[in-house]
A and B are shown apart, each in its own frame.
Chain A
């Protein structure tokens, strides 16, 4: 059963190992979703788990997101630890009523009598030419909702360990896995066997400008920081990791050091998570800022299919570099 843990693996493999660990750790834990069993998952995250754990624990469902989420919520209230997979967050809009009106609200409306310890995983983001109905980043919407936690693992380590923390949490937890990350490889520190789901993390130190980002934009931000370094600009990259509740302390501490901030958010700019963070910076850190807060977001169009248009619509490394350079070296 136990694979020898390789130190280097893909994000996809890390997700799979996390699920396998959870299934082994708790007999009440099970996986349900569209094509998670025989097909092995739309993004092959659950490939092989049906053979390993059987039909009872790896359950293919009808194409009915409201039912999938609702059943997961009911199971969680009944004492199970369901891992629900929604194929992409674009389809999760069909489950929105269950997630917002039930999962997020029942613990509150029942006066704490019912916890809803469901975990809902979904793929998010664009970049694979899957067009508008499969490419949007809707995690910012969920980060609006009190009563749920929203996670955005941006590293292999977080993909490997966030699930356990999410299952241990009595609240409904949504995990957004960016589609461009599944093939990304990274090293796992064998000394780390758990991560928190409460804090943001500084992924790269810098003193000149803070780049705040998460999920699929994290590798872009790190690449941008590398390029900025060649230009003599030390960019600090902060990985939000947890989109709700936001870790203000880490965000503010970084921006207080650099006094300049670029927020990279693959969501649309209007009413976005980046807007919320920019507002918090204006509220709390106004007198610390030495430059306006800038944002790099997806163009406000349905994400296009054509490769060159899609690339143009989504935040790219060059956009981040330009925004950060204009703040750090305006002259």
Chain B
């Protein structure tokens, strides 16, 4: 079971798209997993043959748990492991001197000893049950309930493949990740105001002759400029893991998308620094549509090396954002708004945007962060170079 983000503890296998004997190629979608971010298409990262399916449909598997075994081409069976190693659970009270210790949450479902024994006796997997006991643990009553409902005829059919997300679960996921971030990451914040005149002029010219469906949003040059700036300042692009900074392999921009009905998700735009602006627009459009309808790919949830949050036209002027762990930075754009600005010694009305950076002080210092913001600003003054 791949870790589709720091806030994921387990996923439910909704559907297998392969079976034993299927040949798979790197990038193929092999299964659909339901998480609090909705149904996610799980990709494979090698060429191989599926030799054994270990998790059955409907089963909830903790992150790092075994889903299937693969026969590498010409090789021997290897467990299908997550492409990235499972996110280590937040270290308990490492930095926070709390009066009582916090128990590190593992992927293991809490099952009371009595419930676990009864479940074993009657052949029910207690980890698949919904816990109503202390701290959400699976209690005897939950196992008894499962036994009672197992005795009844099975529900009509397997639940249809869900393509939505559970707002309650998502809120819980966001709560876990954000609380962990604020607990563990010493954020520092920087902000700059950038004249968007040149970029907006360029956008207007680009969009002039195009139908509305092909027009480019201002978000696209912002993403590209940020991606290029991060390539130049790699200390802000990557992860804080095992007490050290690990640079990202490529600039994969996590784009924060707010979902109707609440919640947000920030899937990755892979190698955003290498994409031409029109391609980036296509990616963005596709990503937003899939995020809202379900159907994000596992790599999109796993790979982001940094996050951008843009408040859009109806948002606020600036944002002091919270880093999505284990990333080390998040760049925020406020709304673009005409404000007074000094141009050539005179006050003029210019479209301005506040760019903010929240960065992990363990991984970088304010000087680096300042350079990143100033690079973004320079790039946005020459949009034709993006």
Asked if A331 is at the interface of the complex by the 8 Å CB criterion, the answer is yes
Chain A residues 314-331 with CB under 8 Å of chain B are 326-327, 330-331
| Shortest Cβ distance from B136 into A: residue | A330
B167 to chain A, nearest CB (A): 20
For A286, A288, A290, which residue has the most chain B Cβ atoms within 10 angstroms?
A: A290
Contact B115 A290, beta carbon cutoff 8 Å:
yes
Chain B residues 119-144 with CB under 8 Å of chain A are 132-135, 137, 139-141
| Shortest Cβ distance from A327 into B: residue | B134
Q: Which of A289, A327, A330 makes the CB contact (< 8 A) with B114? A: A289
Q: Total number of A-B contacts with CB less than 8 angstroms?
A: 34
B contact residues around A259 at 8 Å (CB): 112, 114, 140
Contact with B along A265-308 (1 / 0, CB 8 A): 00000000000000000000011111110000000000000000
Residues of B within 8 A of A (CB): 112-117, 132-135, 137, 139-141
Q: A290-B113, A290-B115, A290-B140 known; 14 other A-B pairs, CB under 8 Å?
A: A259-B112, A259-B114, A259-B140, A287-B114, A287-B117, A288-B114, A289-B114, A290-B112, A290-B141, A291-B137, A291-B139, A292-B134, A330-B132, A330-B134
Q: Which of A289, A326, A331 makes the CB contact (< 8 A) with B112? A: A289
Q: Which of A288, A326, A327, A331 makes the CB contact (< 8 A) with B113? A: A288
Contact B133 A290, beta carbon cutoff 8 Å:
yes
Main secondary structure of the interface of B (DSSP, over half): helix
A14 and B137 alpha carbons, distance in the complex (Å)? 47
A89 to chain B, nearest CB (A): 28
- Given A290-B139, A290-B140, A326-B134 contact (CB < 8 Å): yes
Contact A287 B113, beta carbon cutoff 8 Å:
yes
- Sampled A-B contacts (22; CB under 8 Å): A259-B112, A259-B114, A259-B140, A287-B113, A287-B114, A287-B116, A289-B114, A290-B112, A290-B113, A290-B114, A290-B133, A290-B139, A290-B140, A290-B141, A291-B112, A291-B133, A291-B137, A292-B134, A327-B134, A330-B132, A330-B133, A330-B135
Main secondary structure of the interface of A (DSSP, over half): loop
A245 to chain B, nearest CB (A): 26
A289 and B135 alpha carbons, distance in the complex (Å)? 15
A contact residues around B133 at 8 Å (CB): 290-291, 330
B contact residues around A327 at 8 Å (CB): 134
Contact B134 A289, beta carbon cutoff 8 Å:
no
| Shortest Cβ distance from B131 into A: residue | A330
B contact residues around A288 at 8 Å (CB): 113-114
A25 and B195 alpha carbons, distance in the complex (Å)? 102
B contact residues around A286 at 8 Å (CB): 113
Contact A291 B134, beta carbon cutoff 8 Å:
yes
B contact residues around A330 at 8 Å (CB): 132-135
A288 and B114 alpha carbons, distance in the complex (Å)? 5
A292 and B139 alpha carbons, distance in the complex (Å)? 11
A286 and B112 alpha carbons, distance in the complex (Å)? 9
A323 to chain B, nearest CB (A): 11
A320 to chain B, nearest CB (A): 16
A292 and B113 alpha carbons, distance in the complex (Å)? 9
B101 to chain A, nearest CB (A): 14
Contact A331 B132, beta carbon cutoff 8 Å:
yes
A contact residues around B112 at 8 Å (CB): 259, 289-291
A286 and B117 alpha carbons, distance in the complex (Å)? 10
Contact with B along A150-184 (1 / 0, CB 8 A): 00000000000000000000000000000000000
A331 and B133 alpha carbons, distance in the complex (Å)? 7
B contact residues around A291 at 8 Å (CB): 112, 133-134, 137, 139
A218 and B134 alpha carbons, distance in the complex (Å)? 25
B136 to chain A, nearest CB (A): 8
A74 and B327 alpha carbons, distance in the complex (Å)? 74
B contact residues around A326 at 8 Å (CB): 134
| Shortest Cβ distance from B110 into A: residue | A292
A12 to chain B, nearest CB (A): 40
A330 and B135 alpha carbons, distance in the complex (Å)? 7
A290 and B143 alpha carbons, distance in the complex (Å)? 11
For B114, B117, B140, which residue has the most chain A Cβ atoms within 10 angstroms?
A: B114
| Shortest Cβ distance from A331 into B: residue | B132
A286 and B113 alpha carbons, distance in the complex (Å)? 6
A318 and B117 alpha carbons, distance in the complex (Å)? 33
A291 and B115 alpha carbons, distance in the complex (Å)? 10
B contact residues around A292 at 8 Å (CB): 134
A contact residues around B117 at 8 Å (CB): 287
The 5 closest A-B pairs by CB, nearest first: A290-B114, A290-B112, A291-B134, A290-B140, A330-B134
Contact with B along A222-264 (1 / 0, CB 8 A): 0000000000000000000000000000000000000100000
B contact residues around A287 at 8 Å (CB): 113-114, 116-117
A288 and B140 alpha carbons, distance in the complex (Å)? 10
A259 and B114 alpha carbons, distance in the complex (Å)? 8
A6 and B312 alpha carbons, distance in the complex (Å)? 84
A326 and B140 alpha carbons, distance in the complex (Å)? 16
